[in-house]
């Protein structure tokens, strides 16, 4: 059984990006992502397999996007 990791949503790895389609659990209230340490998924931007813990800060072709919903008028979060 793979160990599970708990990551804050602002950590810039593939598993916390809205464009990554790997297996993860997202707790929107706590702003946490739970993944296995060996998880893989497809980057929908680069159309390639990426490990969930891949550090994206030095990738020039990455357009990492936070899992947080966008702000809408009035300062409320979009559903």
* pLDDT tens for each residue of 18-46: 999 999 999 989 999 999 999 999 999 99
pLDDT of residue 69 exceeding 90, the answer is no
What's the sign of the alpha-carbon dihedral 62, 51, 24, 32?
Answer: negative
- Domains of the chain, by residue range, sit at 4-51
Q: For the chain, how far is it from start to end, CA to CA, in angstroms?
A: 34
pLDDT of residue 62 exceeding 90, the answer is yes
pLDDT tier at 11, thresholds 50, 70, 90 = very high
Q: Which residue in 10, 57, 15 sits closest to 34, CA to CA? A: 15
pLDDT of residue 76 exceeding 60, the answer is no
Asked if 13 and 7 count as a contact pair (C-beta separation under 8 A), the reply is yes
pLDDT of residue 54 exceeding 70, the answer is yes
């Amino acid at each position: 059984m793979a160990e599970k990791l708990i990551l804050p949503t602002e950590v810039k790895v593939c598993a916390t990006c809205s464009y990554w389609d790997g297996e993860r659990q997202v707790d929107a209230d706590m702003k946490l992502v739970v993944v296995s340490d060996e998880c893989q998924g497809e980057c929908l931007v680069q159309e390639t397999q990426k490990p969930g813990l891949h550090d994206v800060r030095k990738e020039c072709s990455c357009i990492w996007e936070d899992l947080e919903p966008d702000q809408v008028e009035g300062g409320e979060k979009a559903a």
